[in-house]
């Protein structure tokens, strides 16, 4: 998930927001305001909305702390964490590698819910210290904010502990199956399947509630179910991909018959004689026998057509020094992850400063298709 808005860094981890979060944050604040207005009719408009905004912001902070819980455990266990992004259905910490053992997976998964329960208990405790009793509606604004925050954090932990991958509970379940069977792939398969089952139950329950007249709110449950179904399917697919590509190295599937093109070739010649004639997508630019960079159809399109005759390829190519490269010995799975991080469809394969070939996403997809057909 790519953040649209960067808020800054916390403990060296970038915190960002996806647009969808802003919509949800507004909805949450509005419904909090409506809730406070209903249970505390004696409050002024100013008090109601200040309480709603403060609660909304603190809820936002709680979700960041929940994700930090996951992120800090991951980092303590040697897994680099890049960012935390908040989106419509909560937060997601982007951890660059998967856990290497069941124990790490377990602690990483449970850290978030434990953090949320901790926040919930502290908020409730503070409200209690201010004189709140469980049997009364908190009338004092700070107390109301604390009680609501406490409640929502405990709910957040409970929701996340639903045993459907990729929810935290699903990760914990996966870790447990992994620990017992010693088989990580099988654990993912089981956790993802249960995740899909849970998601279907959410959808059916939401739709059933809606048609029983429970209001539009029940459609939320169905929507969350839909998201979970999608995420569980993606997790399953990713696991199958990793399992299929296991053992394959970049060398095994890279293309080493890249078309080469002189640095001083004009873009017009490049388009007419190379791009359109060969149907290849990527070309190696050579300068005095050395690989200087890469040029693709996308780079060509950056230049207006009327300038193609007097612009040379080295003016628009991507220099090799600025490209992310992979080595022939790298596992294909790692290279695929690197492509995802860099948001590119091909990577030059370089060994000892020499270009050995190109690895393309299309080639990886081909391998996956062929193996799926043979069900290997
Ligand atoms: Zn979590």
**From 14, 67, 240, 373, active-site residue:** 67
- The ranges assigned to domains in the chain are 5-245, 250-373
| Catalytic site includes residue 67 | yes
Say how many Å lie between the CA of residue 74 and the centre of ligand 1.
Answer: 12
- In this prediction, residue 375 has a pLDDT band, given cuts at 50, 70 and 90, of low
Do residues 144 and 151 touch, judged by C-beta distance below 8 A? no
pLDDT given for residue 200 in this prediction: 92
CA of 70 to the centre of ligand 1 (A): 7
CA 158 to centroid of ligand 1, rounded, Å: 10
Superfamily of domain 250-373: CBS-domain (3.10.580.10)
Task: Give yes or no for a contact between 40 and 142, defined as CB atoms under 8 angstroms apart.
Answer: no
Determine the pLDDT at residue 1: 60
Predicted TM-score (pTM) of this structure: 0.68
Q: What is the pLDDT of residues 267-315, one digit of tens each?
A: 899 888 888 887 777 788 888 877 888 888 888 888 898 989 888 988 8
In terms of C-beta distances under 8 Å and separation of at least 24 residues, what long-range contacts does 277-285 make, across chains too? 281/345, 281/346, 281/360, 281/362, 282/258, 282/346, 282/358, 282/360, 283/258, 283/259, 283/313, 284/258, 284/259, 284/260, 284/355, 284/358, 285/260, 285/261, 285/313, 285/314, 285/317
Is residue 117 scored above 90 in pLDDT? yes
Residue, of 346 and 306, whose pLDDT is higher: 306
Quote the ligand 1 centre to 214 CA distance (angstroms).
28
Tell how far the Cα of 167 is from the centroid of ligand 1, in angstroms: 7
Q: What is the 66 CA–ligand 1 centroid distance (Å)?
A: 6
- Residues 119 and 208: their CA atoms lie apart, in Å, by 34
What pLDDT, on the 0 to 100 scale, is given for residue 134? 66
Q: How many angstroms does the Cα of residue 168 sit away from the middle of ligand 1?
A: 5
Task: Please give the residue that has the higher pLDDT: either 194 or 320.
Answer: 194
- pLDDT confidence of residue 106: 93
Q: What is the CA radius of gyration of the chain?
A: 26
**Mean pLDDT taken over the chain:** 84
Higher pLDDT, 140 or 205: 205
Task: Report whether pLDDT(234) > 60.
Answer: yes
Best-predicted range by mean pLDDT (138-142, 207-211, 360-364): 207-211
The rounded Å distance from CA 269 to ligand 1 centre is 54
Q: Return the pLDDT at 3.
A: 66
Cα 376 to Cα 374: distance, rounded to the nearest angstrom = 5
Across the range 44-65, mean pLDDT stands at 88
Q: Evaluate if residue 333 carries a pLDDT over 70.
A: yes
At 170, is the pLDDT very low, low, confident or very high (cuts 50, 70, 90)?
Answer: confident
Which residues hold their Cβ within 5 A of ligand 1, which is an ion? 112, 160, 168
């Amino acid at each position: 998930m790519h953040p649209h808005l960067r808020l800054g860094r916390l403990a060296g981890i970038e915190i960002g927001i996806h647009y969808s979060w802003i919509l949800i944050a507004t909805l949450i604040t509005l419904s909090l305001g409506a809730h406070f207005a209903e249970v505390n009719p004696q409050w002024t408009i100013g008090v109601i909305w200040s309480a709603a905004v403060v609660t909304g912001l603190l809820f936002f902070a709680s979700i960041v702390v929940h994700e930090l819980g996951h992120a800090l455990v991951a980092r303590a266990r040697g897994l680099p964490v890049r960012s935390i992004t908040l989106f419509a259905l909560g937060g997601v910490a982007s951890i660059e590698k998967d856990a290497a053992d069941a124990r790490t997976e377990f602690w990483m998964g449970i850290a978030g819910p434990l953090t949320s329960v901790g926040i919930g208990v502290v908020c409730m405790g503070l409200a209690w210290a201010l004189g709140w009793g469980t049997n009364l509606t908190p009338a004092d604004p700070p107390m109301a904010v604390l009680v609501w925050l406490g409640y929502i954090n405990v709910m957040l932990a409970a929701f996340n502990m639903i045993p459907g991958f990729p929810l935290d509970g699903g990760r914990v379940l996966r870790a447990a199956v992994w620990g017992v069977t010693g088989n990580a792939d099988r654990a993912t398969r089981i956790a993802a399947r249960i995740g899909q089952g849970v998601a279907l139950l959410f959808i059916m329950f939401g739709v059933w509630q809606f048609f029983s007249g429970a209001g539009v709110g029940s459609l939320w449950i169905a929507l969350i179910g839909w998201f979970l179904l999608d995420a569980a399917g993606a997790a399953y697919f990713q696991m199958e991909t990793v399992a299929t590509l296991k053992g394959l190295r970049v060398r095994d599937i890279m293309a080493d018959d890249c078309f080469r093109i002189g640095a001083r070739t004009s873009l017009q010649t490049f388009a007419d004689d190379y791009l359109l004639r060969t149907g290849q997508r990527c070309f190696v630019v050579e300068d005095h026998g050395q690989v200087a960079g890469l040029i693709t159809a996308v780079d060509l399109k950056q230049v207006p057509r009327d300038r193609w005759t007097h612009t040379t390829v080295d003016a628009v190519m991507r220099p090799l020094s600025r490209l992310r490269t992979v080595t022939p010995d790298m596992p294909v799975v790692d290279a695929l992850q690197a492509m995802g991080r860099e948001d590119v469809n091909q990577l030059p394969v370089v060994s000892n400063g020499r270009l050995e070939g190109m690895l393309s996403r299309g080639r990886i997809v081909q391998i996956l298709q062929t193996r799926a057909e043979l069900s290997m």
